Amino acid sequence: MSGYVAPGIPADTKATNDQLERLFASMPIVHVAAGQVASVKLTLRRGAVIAGRVQFADGSPAIGAKVSWERAEANLADVSVRLARWSPLQRAVQTFDYYIDHDRRVVTDDQGRYRIYGLPPGNYIVDTTLVSQLPFAGQVIMSDGSSPGSGVRLDYSFPEMTMVYGPGVFRRSDAKVFEIRGSEQVMNADVKIDPSGLHTLRGRVLAGEDRHVPSQAIVRLQGNGGQDVGRFVVVKEDGSFQIDYLLPGSYMLEVTGASDRVSAAGTTEAPQIQRFYQLAKLAVVVKDQDVVLDALVLTALKPGEKVEYFQ
C-alpha cells in the first residue's frame, strides 16, 4: 500500500542468507487444513519521510529538479553482489524488493520543495543533478564509405550531468546520511546547488602530423585512482571539448574512438577507408581555477594494430 511498509522488510532485500533467514522467521506462518478456514493478521505501518528544499546559491528555488534517494551503503561491493548468482532465498524474497516496486525519484514543486515518503528503515542519502547542455557532433557517412556532398556534420545538444548530494556536496562520500529506524519524518533534508567551487576543463584534439581535426573522438575523464567519474564529451567540429563542474583534484583524461575517413592509397576518389588513432592519456590536475590544455595530438594506428577503447 502506497506510503506503508511491511514490518521487517528492508529497502534492499538482496542480502546475505543469514539476514534473509531471520527475515523469513519473522513472517507469520499460516497452516491451512482441508475443510477449514485459516486466518492471519497482517500489519502495515507508515513508512518514513525525507523532505526538504532544493535551492540555488542565491536562495532561489530549483523548480522541477529531480531528487533521488538511495541507500548510503551502496557501493561497488553491492554491485558485485547484484551481479552474482542469486541463492534460493534471494530469489524467494525478490517479491519484496522495495527498489522494484517504488519510484526512487521525485520532482520539486514551484518552491523547490520535495517529499519522499513510505521509506522502510535504513540509511539514506539524497541527490539531484546539475545539468549543462554541451554540443557534440557527428558526421554522416554513406554505406560505401563516401560522404554526401562535402560531408554532412550534425550538431546535437548533449546534457552533461553532475551529481549534487545533500546538503550541497559533490562527492558521494561527503553526503549527509539520514538514519531511518521507524516512521519518523525528516523535514530538513535540504540540498544547495552552488557550483562556485567547481571548474571547467577545456582543450582540443588534433590528429596526425598535419594536426587536422579527426572526424570523431570521445574524451573521458577518470579519477586519479582509476575510478570512473562519469564525465565524457564528444569533440566538436573544430576539435575542441569542454568539461564543466569539476572538483579540484587529479584526473586522467583519455581520448578514444578517434577516426577519419580517408581515400585509399594512390586514389583521390571514393570509396574511402576508415583510419583509427591510438588511445591517448594525459594526467590533469585541477586546482583553484579553470584549466586550458595544450592541443592533444593523436597518433594513427599502424597496420595490424588494434583499436583500444577505454574500459
What is d(CA 143, CA 125) in angstroms, rounded to the nearest whole number?
A: 49
Helix spans in the chain (H) = 17-25, 76-83, 88-92, 98-101
The CA R_g of the chain, rounded to the nearest whole Å, is: 26
Q: Could you tell me which residue, 190 or 151, shows the higher pLDDT?
A: 190
* pLDDT category of residue 122 using cuts at 50, 70 and 90: confident
Segment 282-311, tens digit of pLDDT: 999 999 899 999 999 998 888 777 766 655
The residue with cell 572526424 is 215
The grid cell for 291 is 584549466
Domains, the chain, in order of start with CATH, read 1-24+39-134+161-194 (2.60.40.10), 198-311 (2.60.40.10)
Residue type for position 205: V
> Is the omega angle on the peptide bond into residue 195 within 30 degrees of 0, that is, cis?
no
The grid cell for 288 is 583553484
**What pTM, to 2 d.p., does this model score?**
0.67
Contacts of 231 (CB under 8 A, 6+ apart): 160, 220, 221, 243, 246
Segment 45-103, tens digit of pLDDT: 888 999 999 999 999 999 999 999 988 876 544 444 445 566 776 666 666 655 555 67
The residue with cell 566538436 is 236
Q: Could you tell me which residue, 34 or 100, shows the higher pLDDT?
A: 34
